[in-house]
Amino acid sequence: MSDLPALVVAAPIVGSIAVLLAGVLRARTGWPLAVVAALVQVGGAVTLASRAFGEEPVRYVVGGFRAPFGIELVVDGLSATMVVLVAVVALGVLGYARVAGPRSNSFYAVYLLLVAGLTGMSVTGDVFNMYVFLEITGLAAYALVASGEGGRSALAALKYLIVGTVGASLFLLGIGYAYVATGTLNMADLSTQLAAVGYNSPLVQAAFGLLVAGLFVKVAVFPVHTWQPAAYAGAPDSVSALISALVSTVAAYALIRIVFTVFTVEFLLATPFARTVLVAGAVVSIVVGSALAVTQTEIKRMLAYSSVSQFGLVVGAIAVANGTALTGAAIHLVGHAVMKGGLFLTSGLVANATGVRTIDGYEGLAERLPVGAGAFSVLALGMVGVPPAVGFVGKWYIALGAVEAETWPLAVVILLSTLLTLAYFVRILERMYFREPAEASAAVETTEQRAAAGLVTDGTGTDAGLGPVSMGMRATVLVAAVLAVALGLAVFEYGALLQPTIERLLA
Amino acid sequence: MIEALADRVYYLAVFLLLGVGTYMLIGNANLVKKVIGMNIFQTGIFLFFITAAYIDGASPPLLSAPGPYVSPLPHVLILTAIVVGVSLTAVALGLIVRIYSEYGTLDEDAIAKVIADE
Amino acid sequence: MTEIASIRPVAAVLVSAVAIVPILASRGRPTLREGWTVLAAVTKLGIVASMVPGVLAGDVYVTDFGAFVPGIRFALRADPLGILFGLLASLLWLVTSFYSIGYMRGLNEHAQTRYFAAFAGSLAAAVGVAFASNLVVLFVFYELLTVATYPLVAHDETDEARAAGRKYLTYTFGGGVAALAGSVLVFWLTGTTAFTPGGIADLATADPLFARATFALLITGFGVKAALMPVHSWLPDAMVAPTPVSGLLHAVAVVKSGVFGIARVVLDVFGPGLVGDLGMGAVLGALAALTLTVASVIALRQDNLKRRLAYSTVSQLSYIVLGLAVLNPMSLAGGLLHIPAHAFMKLTLFFCAGAVHVETHTDDISNMAGIGDRMPLTMGAFGVAALGMAGIPLVAGFVSKYYLLVGTVTAGDLAFTGALLLSGILNIAYFWPVVYTAFFETPDESDPKPVVENVLGGRFGDPEAATDGGHDPDEGHDSDHGETDDHGFAPDHEGQGVQDEREASEHIDPEHGPDERAEWEHRAPNGDESTWFMLGPILFAAAGSVVLGVVPDTAVFLRVVRLIVAGVTGVSV
C-alpha cells in the first residue's frame, strides 16, 4: 500500500499554489515551476501505472475512513492510462506554451489545477468525489479558455461555463438519485447495491439517465456539444490543444466508469433502452459532427466538430459493451488525445508563423511551412484511420467489437466514419499541397486572411496574427506526429496489458 | 393522490426550481440572468439532496440529541457543492465583467451583432 | 514448403520507403536525387529477385514482427503469389524510373522532388501489398498506397487534377472501408485473416449468408482499385497524372494491387472451391465479363490517347478478374499470367503515349495522323504492344488469353468465352486505328472517324438547325474555360500536333506558328526521335512483352504462376 494515488492528485495542486505564490515574488516564474511540477507528475504517473496494470487495482483510502464510508481512490489499468496521458500531454503542451502560450503565473497555476482535476477524476472510486473533480476540471477549463485575449474568449468561456455547469448539475442530480436508491456513494459498493435494488427501479434508471446525460454534455456528444466549437476556437492555441486532448477524454473515461463500474453490463443488458440511447448518441455524433465539420471555414472550429464525431466512436464502443470494443475505446481515447492535441498545436504553429486561421488560408501551406504542413498531414491521415497510425487500430478494435456484438447499424457507421473524417480533412490536405499560396493568387483572399487573423486578436492590426515560432513548438508538433504513428505499432502490448482491467470492468 | 403529492411537496418545489432555472438559462438573452438561472437550477439540486436526507420526526445528527437522526452525509456533500457553486458564480461574473467592458452590453443578441459587424 | 525467417521481404518494402529521405534531402540537386531513386530501384529489384529461386524451389520467406492486434500478426511473407506481384512491380519500377527522368525533365515539370518521393513511397506500399501475410496487413499497405499515390494524381495542381485527386481518394478510401469491413467479418467468422493457399478452412463452415456478404465486401473493396464497373470511373480521370504515373501505377502497381487483392481473396481466403460453392464465382465472372465488354466499347470512342488506354486498362483488368472468377485451373493460370503480360504491354503503350506527349505535345489520336514518320521506334513499339493486347500470337497477350479461353471452355462457361472473343475483336478495333493513323495517314489526308466524332447512337435530325432563331452552336462553349491546359481532356483544346498548330497559327499569331507545311518532320528510327531515357524503357518493355509471348516458359513469370495454381488447386497446368 502506498500513497501514490493521492500524491498524483496532490502534486499538481501543490505545484499550482507554488506557482501562484512565486508569481507574487517575481513575474514570469510560472513556466519553469510548471515544468518541474509536470515532470514530477509524469514520474509519479508512470510509477503508478507500472503497479496498476496487474491483476488487482491499486487502492488507497483517504483519511483512514475505509470504504464504503470514506473516499477511496482506485487505480486500475484504465485509470492509470488516463493519469499517464494527462501527465504526458500536460508536459508536452508546456513545451509548446513556453514561447507561444499565455505567460502569466496565474495561467500556469490554473493549468496545473486542471491537471489535478483531471487526475482526480481518473483515480477516484467515489461518485461524489468524481463530481467534485469534474467541477474543479470545469472551473480550471473555463478560466483557461478565458485566458485568451479579447471578448471572444470570454464569451466562449461563459457559454462553456453555463453549459458545463448544467451538465455537471445533471451529473450531481444523478448521484442524488443513486444515493436515494442505495445510500452509498462508493462505486464498487454502488454496483452491488444497485443490483440489489433492481435494475427495473425507476430511481436506478433515472440515475443512469441523469449521470449519462451529464457526462454527454462534458464529452460533447451531439446535440449537447454546443459549447465545444466556441470554446476551442476562442481559447489560446495551447489551451485548445490541452482541453481538446484531455477534458472530453477524461469525461469519456468517466462515462466508461459510470456505465461499467457503477451500473455494470448487466444493467445495460436488462435495460435495452439505455443501450439504445448510447447507440443513438454515438451514431448521431459521428454523422452530424462530421457533416458540421465539413461546413466550417475556420480551422479550429472544424477540429472541434471533428472531436464531436470522434467521441461518437468512443460512445459507440461503450454501447457495444464487449472487451474488444472497450479496448478500442481506451486506445482511441489515447490516440485521439495525441492526434487532436497535435492538430490544435499545429494549427497554432501555422497561425503564429503565417497568421492563417481559415481553411482557405491553408492554400499552398506546404511551401511556406513544410514542417507544419507535414505534421498536419500525418496527424490528419492518422485521424482518418490510415494504418498503421493509432487511429486505425482504435477503429479496428471498435469495429471488430461492434461486429462481434452483431450491432450492425453501429458497425456500418463506424466503418463509414473513415470516409466522413476524410471528407473534412481532404479539403485541407488538398489546399496545403496542391494549390498556390493565397498571396500569389488574389488580393481578396489575403484581406480575408488578415480579417480572420484580426478577428482572433481582436483587430489590433494586420500583423497581429503573427507570433513567435520556437524550436519547442516545432518539436512538440513533430513529436505528436511521430507518436501518432508509433503508438499504432505499440498498441498490441498495451491492449494485452489492459486485458485484466477490461475483464474486471465487464465482470 | 392529493396526499401523495402533499407528502412529496418538497420534491415538487425542487422540480419547480429546476424548471425555472432551466427556463431562465435558455430563455433569457441577458447574461447575468442566465447566471441567476444557473444558480436557481443548482439550488434546486441542493434542496433535492437535503430533502432526500430528511426523515420524518428525526433529530439533527448530534450526539447529544436522541435518535433517530437525519442522514448527515447529504448535508456534507451539499456543503461542498455549494462551495463549488459559489466559485462557479464568481468565475461567471468575472467573465461577464470582461464581456461587458469589451462589448458594452449584456444582451446576447446584441453581442452577436457586434461580433458579426466586426 | 519450408518457411525461412528472413529480413528480405521487409527489406524489399523498406528500401524505397527509406529512399524517400535522401530523395527529399537532395531536392536542390536533380541528378543526385534521381541517383537515389535508381539506386533504390536497383536494390529493391535485387532483393526481390534474390528470393525468386528460393520461392520457385518451394520456400517461403517470412519476416514476422509479432502481433499487431490480437490474433493477427504483422508479418510479411514472400510466397509465390506475392513474388509474382512484387517482382513485377520492382522490375517495372526500375524501368519507369529511367523513363520518369526523361519525361519529367523533358517537360520541365514542377515539384519533381515530391513526384519522385511519392513514387518511391507508392512502390514501398505496392510491394507491401504483395508480401502481406494476411488481410489486415494487406489492408494497411493498400491504404498507404492510396495515400502515397494521391500526390501523383493531383500532381498538376490544376482544378481538373485536384478534382481527379478528390475522386481518387473518395473511391479508393470508400473501397478501403469495404475491404476493412470484409476483413473484420473474416476475422469475426474465423478468428484469423492469414492467407492460406486453398482458403481459410473455417470459412467453409461459416453461415453462407455472412460468407457471401464478406466476399461481396472484400471484392467491392479491392474491386475499386481493380476498376471493376461500376466503380471504375476514377481511373480515366486519374489519367490527368503525369504519364509515368499512369503507366506504372495506373496500369501496374495500383490497379494490380486491387486485382491482387481479389486474387488473394479468391485463392487464399475463400479458396476456389468455396467461392464456387457459394455461387459467387459466377456473379464475379459476370461482373468482369460485363466490364471488359463495356469498357472496350467505351474505349472505341475516346479520342484522347491516354483515356483510350485507361478504358483499355479497365477492360484488361477484368480479363484477370474473369480468369480468377471462372475458378478453373487453366483460367486461374491465364488470369494470373495476364497480370505480368498486361503490365508489360500496357506500360509500353503508356510510355509511347508519354513520349509522344513530351516530343510533340500531342494527346489526341485525331491529331496523330502520320506521326509514325516523326517517332518511328515509339510508334513501332506501340504497334507491337497493341497487337499483344489484341491477343495476336508471339506477344505476351496471346499466351495468357489462350489459357483464359481454354479455361472458360473447359469450365463450360461459353458465355465468358464469347465475351473474351468479342472483347478481343474490340481490342483490335480501338488499337488498330492508332497504328493506322500513325503510319498510313498524313495530316492532310486522313479518313473520317465516325465512331469518335459523331454523337453516340447517331444524330437525330440536322445538328445545325436552330429553332430559336439561331445562334451558332459553337458559341455555347464559354463555360469550358479553365479546361484547356496542356494535359486537359477538353476536346477543343489547342496546341496539339501539326493540324491544330496550323489552324491556330492562321488566326492567332502567325509568327509563333509552325511553318505552313502540314507534315511531321521525318526522323530516322535510330533514337533521334526522343531521348534514350524514354526510348530505352519503351523498347525494354516492348521486348519484355515479346519475350513473354515467344518463350513464356523461360520467362520466370509463367513458372511462378504454375506454382501458385498448383499450390491452390493441386492441379498442374
Q: Quick check: C489 pLDDT over 50?
A: no
- From the list A340, A328, A342, A333, the residue with the least C-alpha distance to A393 is A328
**Cis link prior to C230 (omega < 30° from 0)?**
yes
pLDDT for position C498:
58
Q: How confident is the model at residue C512 (pLDDT cuts 50, 70, 90)?
A: very low
Mean pLDDT of A239-268: 91
Rounded-to-integer distance, Cα A395 and Cα A382, Å: 11
pLDDT for position A465:
54
Rounded-to-integer distance, Cα C332 and Cα C561, Å: 9
Q: What are phi and psi of C364, to 5 degrees?
A: -100, 140
Q: Quick check: A334 pLDDT over 90?
A: yes
State how far residue C15 is from chain A, nearest Cα, in angstroms.
Answer: 18
Say whether residue B70 is in contact with chain A using an 8 A CB cutoff. Answer: no
Which residues 171-200 of chain C have a CB within 8 Å of chain A?
A: 173-174, 176-177, 180-181, 184-185, 187-188
Q: Quick check: A452 pLDDT over 60?
A: no
Q: Quick check: A333 pLDDT over 90?
A: yes
Most confident of A55-64, C279-288, C474-483: C279-288
Q: What are phi and psi of C78, to 5 degrees?
A: -95, 85
Rounded-to-integer distance, Cα C420 and Cα C338, Å: 13
Mean pLDDT of C479-487: 43
Q: What percent of chain C has pLDDT over 70?
A: 87
A507 or B18: which carries more pLDDT confidence? B18
List chain C residues with CB under 8 Å of A491.
69
When computed from its CA atoms, the radius of gyration of chain C, rounded to whole angstroms, is: 24
Rounded-to-integer distance, Cα C370 and Cα C387, Å: 19
Select the residue of A131, A180, A455 nearest B118 (Cβ to Cβ): A455
pLDDT for position A247:
92
Contact (CB<8Å) C174/A400: no
Q: What is the mean pLDDT of chain B?
A: 85
**Domain range list for chain A:** 271-507
pLDDT tens for residues C137-176? Answer: 999 899 899 988 888 888 888 888 888 888 888 899 899 9
Rounded-to-integer distance, Cα A130 and Cα C388, Å: 74
pLDDT for position C455:
65
Query: Among A371-385, A442-456, C435-449, C491-505, where is mean pLDDT lowest?
Result: A442-456
pLDDT tens for residues B31-54? Answer: 999 999 999 999 999 988 888 877
Q: How confident is the model at residue A362 (pLDDT cuts 50, 70, 90)?
A: confident
Give the residue numbers spanning the domain of B46.
Answer: 2-117
Q: How confident is the model at residue C468 (pLDDT cuts 50, 70, 90)?
A: low
pLDDT tens for residues A149-175? Answer: 778 888 899 999 999 999 999 999 999
> Other C-beta atoms within 10 Å of A72: how many?
23
Say whether residue B35 is in contact with chain A using an 8 A CB cutoff. Answer: yes
Q: Residue A339 burial by CB count (10 A; 0-12/13-18/19+): exposed, middle or buried? A: buried
Distances (CA, A) of A170 to A173, B22, C315: 5, 11, 62
**Domain range list for chain C:** 321-454+495-573
List chain C residues with CB under 8 Å of A403.
184-185, 188
pLDDT tens for residues A472-497? Answer: 888 888 999 999 988 888 888 888 88
Q: Quick check: A133 pLDDT over 50?
A: yes
Contact (CB<8Å) A158/B95: yes
Chain A interface mutation, best of B18, B26, B95, B109, highest count of A Cβ atoms under 10 Å: B95
ipTM of the complex: 0.90
Query: Among A454-463, C134-143, C199-208, C508-517, where is mean pLDDT lowest?
Result: A454-463
Q: For residue B30, list its beta bridge partners.
A: B107
Q: How confident is the model at residue C377 (pLDDT cuts 50, 70, 90)?
A: confident
A463 or C3: which carries more pLDDT confidence? C3
Say whether residue C202 is in contact with chain A using an 8 A CB cutoff. Answer: no
Q: Quick check: A255 pLDDT over 90?
A: yes
Rounded-to-integer distance, Cα C259 and Cα C181, Å: 18
Q: Provide the 8-state DSSP code for C477.
A: G
Q: How confident is the model at residue C481 (pLDDT cuts 50, 70, 90)?
A: very low
Select the residue of C114, C143, C177 nearest A415 (Cβ to Cβ): C177
pLDDT for position A460:
36
State how far residue B59 is from chain A, nearest Cα, in angstroms.
Answer: 19
List chain B residues with CB under 8 Å of A185.
73, 77
pLDDT for position C456:
64
Contact (CB<8Å) B41/A166: yes
Rounded-to-integer distance, Cα C225 and Cα C236, Å: 12
Q: Provide the 8-state DSSP code for A258.
A: I
Q: How confident is the model at residue A454 (pLDDT cuts 50, 70, 90)?
A: very low
Select the residue of C170, C174, C184 nearest A399 (Cβ to Cβ): C184
Q: What are phi and psi of A221, to 5 degrees?
A: -85, 140
Contact (CB<8Å) A162/B92: yes
Q: Quick check: A274 pLDDT over 80?
A: yes
Q: Quick check: A131 pLDDT over 90?
A: yes
pLDDT for position A446:
43
Which residues 435-474 of chain A have a CB within 8 Å of chain C?
A: 435-436
Parallel/antiparallel/unpaired status of strands C59-69 and C2-5: parallel
pLDDT for position C469:
53
Mean pLDDT of A427-451: 61
**What CATH number has the domain bearing residue B40?**
1.10.287.3510
Per DSSP, helices labelled H in C108-153 are 112-131, 135-153
Q: Quick check: A225 pLDDT over 90?
A: no
List chain B residues with CB under 8 Å of A138.
88
DSSP A37-65: HHHHHHHHHHHHHHHHSSSS-EEEEGGG-
- Chains near B, with 3+ CB pairs < 8 A? A
- Chains near C, with 3+ CB pairs < 8 A? A
pLDDT for position C554:
76
